[in-house]
Amino acid sequence: MADLSINFAGIRAPNPFWLASAPPTNSGPQIHRAFEHGWGGAVWKTIGAPVLNISNRYGGLSLGGQRLLAINNVELISDRPLDVNLREIAEVKRMWPDRAVIVSAMVDADPKAWRDIVMMIEDTGADGIELNYGCPQGMSERGMGAAVGQVPEMCQLNTHWVTSVTKLPVIVKLTPNVTHITDPAHAALAGGANALSLINTINSIMRVDLDTLQITPNIGGRGTHGGYAGPAVKPIALNMLTELMTDAEVLRSGVPICGMGGIQTWRDAAEFLLLGATSLQVCTAAMHYGYRIVEDMIDGLSNWMDDKGFATIYDVAGRSLPQVSTFGQLDLSYQAVARINPDKCIQCNLCYVACNDTAHQCIDLYAEGGIRVDPGFDPRMNGKGVADTRPTPVVREPDCVGCALCVNVCPVDGCIEMVSVPSGRESVTWDQLTAQRPAVTQQWAAMEAYRDEAGIEIH
């Protein structure tokens, strides 16, 4: 079997699956149960400044009968007494010496406050410290959490206050509520961070109840912004991870990155690893399905790695990064078209509607006998007032621009595929075109002339 063990900034764990700092890591008994199910590590729910939590705390996003595609929370950091948390952290680490026990911390932006909490954490025997610079609600209004993570100077300063007084590995957890994720990352590195983790939750208001007109979650007739997480945020997390893993300064630093944001299955985990993460954190999925989901994650990732011939996590990490490009480096001559498998098609004709109404009008409908029908054709009739089978969609390939909208709306896996076809044009990128023929990229008349020359038809 593949070796899933990791060494993340000096923190060792039997596998890369860690529970994120959140309700699933609120107490020692919880983390004991999690470790019994196989989690490789846990980041303790953030300790630090005193708080009072409220209720209701969560709002969920459901769609098409699927629950908790995303969760919005207005919960704060741990409201349990500091001494209780510290005692339980020490107990967990003593009982589970092979697991990663990291303590998330958040205090006022003051060097003494940071030194005091760091000394307490060190006394527990924990493996590392994660600095919570991401919490977007409640704590940010008090000058902590995202209020630090959104200001690079504060991020660097607070990180320095910690790294200057501890030998424990320091992980800086980045907020996604910024314009460029590289800015706080650079600041954390300048402050001496040993590792980075991302993403924390995204600032959001989940919804408004149309019956009561109240914001959800409703806290005594009022609502507020909270942190958005769960499967729906995964593409955002993957993009921000990729931004860091392709940034020259981050690469020069050599610091490892812990990826999180929407990981629910081993497949999600593999995607984060392929884009450069070397450890992973999970929260919403555990809240939805319980701690045992890690068993499927471990088995699935291990089997996939065996099938692909990857022996270790580090054989996987970053393998897809060479494919990452800017738009200006993409081949403008590449051409793909959609093809519909008639044997799999259920004649729902969602592809036709999507293409005809909102894309490039290159899918036609054909009734039995190969008769093309008009857009206003009633699919229940054959034109003679007799019930008939629904028409079949067929792509008009010469007019297909390869947008792939039809593939994404089709409810049948593998029914529509994007197939590469020769374009008949020489390979060229936008950057090359800009350098070689700048007028083409700056003037519409020159662009139209270039299209005529290259045989590019726009319809």
Per-residue pLDDT of the chain (459 residues; tens, 9 = 90+): 899 999 999 999 999 999 999 999 999 999 999 999 999 999 999 999 999 998 899 999 988 888 989 999 999 999 999 999 999 999 999 999 999 999 999 999 999 999 999 999 999 999 999 999 998 888 998 999 999 999 999 999 999 999 999 999 999 999 999 999 999 999 999 999 999 999 999 999 999 999 999 999 999 999 999 999 999 999 999 999 999 999 999 999 999 999 999 999 999 999 999 999 999 999 999 999 999 999 999 999 999 999 999 999 999 999 999 999 999 999 999 999 999 999 999 999 999 999 999 999 999 999 887 888 875 555 554 444 443 578 999 999 999 999 999 999 999 999 999 999 999 999 999 999 999 999 999 999 999 999 999 999 887
Is the distance from CB of 169 to CB of 231 less than 8 angstroms?
A: no
Set 135, 345, 351, 415: catalytic member = 135
CA distances from 83 to 15, 96, 117, 168 (A): 29, 20, 11, 20
Which of 269, 275, 317 lies closest to 297 in space, CA to CA? Answer: 269
The two beta strands, 257-260 and 279-282, are parallel
Would you state the structure tokens that stand for residue 246, as one six-digit string?
Answer: 């392709």
DSSP letter string, 196-234: EEE--PEEE--EE-TTT--EES-BTTB---EEEESGGGH
Would you state the structure tokens that stand for residue 9, as one six-digit string?
Answer: 């900034």
User: SS3 for 310?
Assistant: coil
Give the model's pLDDT for residue 377: 56
User: SS3 for 101?
Assistant: strand
Phi/psi for 396 (5° steps) reads -90, 90
The two beta strands, 58-63 and 336-340, are unpaired
Which of 10, 6, 24, 7 lies closest to 284 in space, CA to CA? Answer: 24
Whole-model pTM: value is 0.94
Burial of 346 (0-12, 13-18, 19+ CB in 10 A): exposed
Is 355 annotated as catalytic? no
C-alpha span between 367 and 257 (Å, rounded)? 55
Cis peptide before 53 (omega within 30 of 0): no
Which of 47, 51, 22 lies closest to 124 in space, CA to CA? Answer: 47
C-alpha span between 300 and 38 (Å, rounded)? 14
- Helix, strand, coil percent values for the chain (each to nearest 5): 35, 20, 40
